[in-house]
A and B are shown apart, each in its own frame.
Chain A
Amino acid sequence: MVGALIGAVEQGLIYGIMALGVYLTFRVLDFPDLTVDGSFVTGAATAAAMIVMGYSPVLATLVAIVVGFVAGVGTGLLHTKGGINPLLSGILMMIALYSINLRIMGWTVENAVGRPNIPLLQSETLFSQYTAWATSLGIPVEISIILFAAVGVTVVKLALDAFLKTEVGLALRATGDNKRMIRSFSGNTSTLTILGLGLSNGLVALSGALIAQYGKFADVGMGIGMIVIGLASVIIGEALFGTKSIVRVTLAVVIGAVIYRLVLAFALRIEFLDTGDMKLLTAAIVVLALIVPGKLGETKKRLARKRLQSKSVTKGGTELVNHS
Chain B
Amino acid sequence: MLTIRNLHKRFNESSHDEKIALHDLSLHLNDGDFVTIIGSNGAGKSTLLNCVSGTLQGDGGTIEIARNQVDSLAEHARAKWIGRVFQDPMAGTSPSLTIEENLAVAHARNRKRSWRFATSKTKRDHFRAALEVLHLNLENRLTTKVGTLSGGERQALSLLMATFTNPSLLLLDEHTAALDPARAELITQLTKQLVNDQQLTTLMVTHNMQQAIDLGNRLIMMDQGKIIYEADAETKKQLNVQHLLEEFKKIKGSHALSDRMLLEV
The reply to whether the CB of B136 lies closer than 8 angstroms to some CB of chain A is no
Q: How does the 8 Å CB contact mask read for B93-106 relative to A, with 1 for contact and 0 for none?
A: 11111000100111
- List CB contacts (< 8 Å) of B91-138 with chain A: 91-97, 101, 104-106, 108-110, 113-119
Select one of A171, A174, A182, A186 contacting B110, CB under 8 A.
A186
- List CB contacts (< 8 Å) of A168-218 with chain B: 168-171, 173-174, 177-178, 180-189
Q: Name the distance in Å between A84's Cβ and chain B's nearest Cβ.
A: 20
Please state if A182 and B113 are interface contacts (CB–CB under 8 Å): no
Please state if A177 and B91 are interface contacts (CB–CB under 8 Å): no
With A and B bound together, what is the CA distance between A169 and B114 in angstroms? 9
Please state if A186 and B80 are interface contacts (CB–CB under 8 Å): yes
A111 — which chain B residues lie within 8 A by C-beta?
A: none
Please state if A165 and B119 are interface contacts (CB–CB under 8 Å): yes
The reply to whether the CB of B166 lies closer than 8 angstroms to some CB of chain A is no
The reply to whether the CB of B261 lies closer than 8 angstroms to some CB of chain A is no
Known: A177-B96, A178-B91, A178-B93. A185 touches B118 (CB 8 A): no
The reply to whether the CB of A319 lies closer than 8 angstroms to some CB of chain B is no
* Residue from A166, A186, A188 whose CB has the most chain B CB atoms within 10 Å: A186
Please state if A165 and B118 are interface contacts (CB–CB under 8 Å): yes
* Residue from A171, A180, A182, A185 whose CB has the most chain B CB atoms within 10 Å: A185
With A and B bound together, what is the CA distance between A248 and B247 in angstroms? 61
The reply to whether the CB of B64 lies closer than 8 angstroms to some CB of chain A is no
Please state if A182 and B105 are interface contacts (CB–CB under 8 Å): yes
With A and B bound together, what is the CA distance between A283 and B108 in angstroms? 43
A184 — which chain B residues lie within 8 A by C-beta?
A: 53, 75, 79, 82-84, 92, 162
What residue in chain B is nearest A186 (Cβ atoms)?
B79
Select one of B53, B83, B118 contacting A169, CB under 8 A.
B118
A side interface size, CB within 8 A:
23
Select one of A163, A171, A181 contacting B91, CB under 8 A.
A181
With A and B bound together, what is the CA distance between A315 and B162 in angstroms? 53
Known: A170-B97, A173-B94, A174-B97. A185 touches B117 (CB 8 A): no
The reply to whether the CB of B237 lies closer than 8 angstroms to some CB of chain A is no
The reply to whether the CB of A271 lies closer than 8 angstroms to some CB of chain B is no
Select one of B76, B115, B162 contacting A188, CB under 8 A.
B76
Please state if B114 and A185 are interface contacts (CB–CB under 8 Å): no
Known: A183-B75, A186-B76, A187-B76. A178 touches B113 (CB 8 A): no
Please state if B75 and A174 are interface contacts (CB–CB under 8 Å): no
With A and B bound together, what is the CA distance between A185 and B83 in angstroms? 8
The reply to whether the CB of A110 lies closer than 8 angstroms to some CB of chain B is no
With A and B bound together, what is the CA distance between A168 and B94 in angstroms? 14
A274 — which chain B residues lie within 8 A by C-beta?
A: none
With A and B bound together, what is the CA distance between A168 and B97 in angstroms? 13
Please state if A173 and B96 are interface contacts (CB–CB under 8 Å): yes
Q: Name the distance in Å between A234's Cβ and chain B's nearest Cβ.
A: 15
Please state if A167 and B113 are interface contacts (CB–CB under 8 Å): yes
With A and B bound together, what is the CA distance between A114 and B192 in angstroms? 69
Please state if A174 and B94 are interface contacts (CB–CB under 8 Å): yes
B83 — which chain A residues lie within 8 A by C-beta?
A: 184
With A and B bound together, what is the CA distance between A171 and B108 in angstroms? 9
Additional 9 contacts, C-beta under 8 A, given A167-B118, A182-B94, A185-B108: A162-B117, A163-B115, A166-B116, A180-B86, A181-B93, A184-B53, A184-B83, A186-B77, A187-B113
**Which 5 residue pairs spanning A and B have beta carbons closest together?**
A167-B113, A174-B94, A186-B79, A177-B94, A167-B118
